Amino acid sequence: MKKIESVKEFGGWLNRYEHQSESCHCKMIFSVYLPPQAETEKVPVVYWLSGLTCTDDNVRTKAGAQRYAAELGLALVMPDTSPRGDDVADEAERYDLGKGAGFYVNATESPWCDHYQMYDYVTKELPALIEKNLPVLKNVKSISGHSMGGHGALICALKEKNAYRSASAFSPICHPVKSPWGENCFSAYLGKDKNLWKTYDATELVKAGANLIPVLIDQGTDDEFLAEQLFPQDLQAAYEEQNAQITLRKQEGYDHSYHFISTFIGEHLAYHAEALKK
């Protein structure tokens, strides 16, 4: 991997890298914040998965997470949301399909399957690359994300047993098989088999008895996508039916934006730090 940018922040370094992805068959870019503690020791990692239309740049410039990561001694890894490049399939007129909308699945349908292998990228290829090349602890990681990335964080934690010490999300798409965003992307990437869709749906995974990792979710009550796209109540009901631990905090007056995320990101990172340092 090649470092293409480096900025000092809060005693640590916000770096940007590019590499040729074996999973996605294209050049991928991601950002990493290394706290000051990483100068002398290996540190635990929190992976952040971003939402529709985003790249790695949104969270690193808008969330204010690096200040808290520096205080807590956490590395932050912030991948892109989809494959990129001239050869990568896209629907340029749409924001919710194609580039910027990888949905963290392994696509099975043409033309998407050639590049859209984002689940393998974020759960296997990227962690292996990070652990090999940067001063981070091996297999000591947590995961979080926003909206489509909240969906991604939840399914990664539910599907990959013992891979993550903790999981959290802001405004996640909790039941994508009944969400217009999920239905559009799943039908394109995964085809008509809705049983396959369910293997990338947090609510359906919990119903099926997946790895029931405790989760923390923050949801704004004034989120414009709450009623038609997100369905946190479905995930909460599925968790409670399994007698598993879910903390769903309804934050009065907050919307779907990074104003909301930046307000509570410190609490999420503290939640992960506690789990990672046990």
The catalytic residue positions are 147, 223, 256
CA neighbours closer than 13 Å in the CB half-sphere of residue 218: 24
> In degrees, to the nearest 5, what angle opens at C-alpha 202 toward C-alphas 201 and 208?
90
Closest residue by Cα to residue 136 from 2, 37, 65: 37
Whole-angstrom Cα distance, residue 167 to residue 273? 11
Neighbouring residues of 137: CB distance < 8 A, sequence distance ≥ 6: 42, 43, 44, 45
Structure-block tokens of residue 58: 């949104």
Residue 272 · residue 166 · CB < 8 Å: yes
Whole-angstrom Cα distance, residue 71 to residue 222? 31
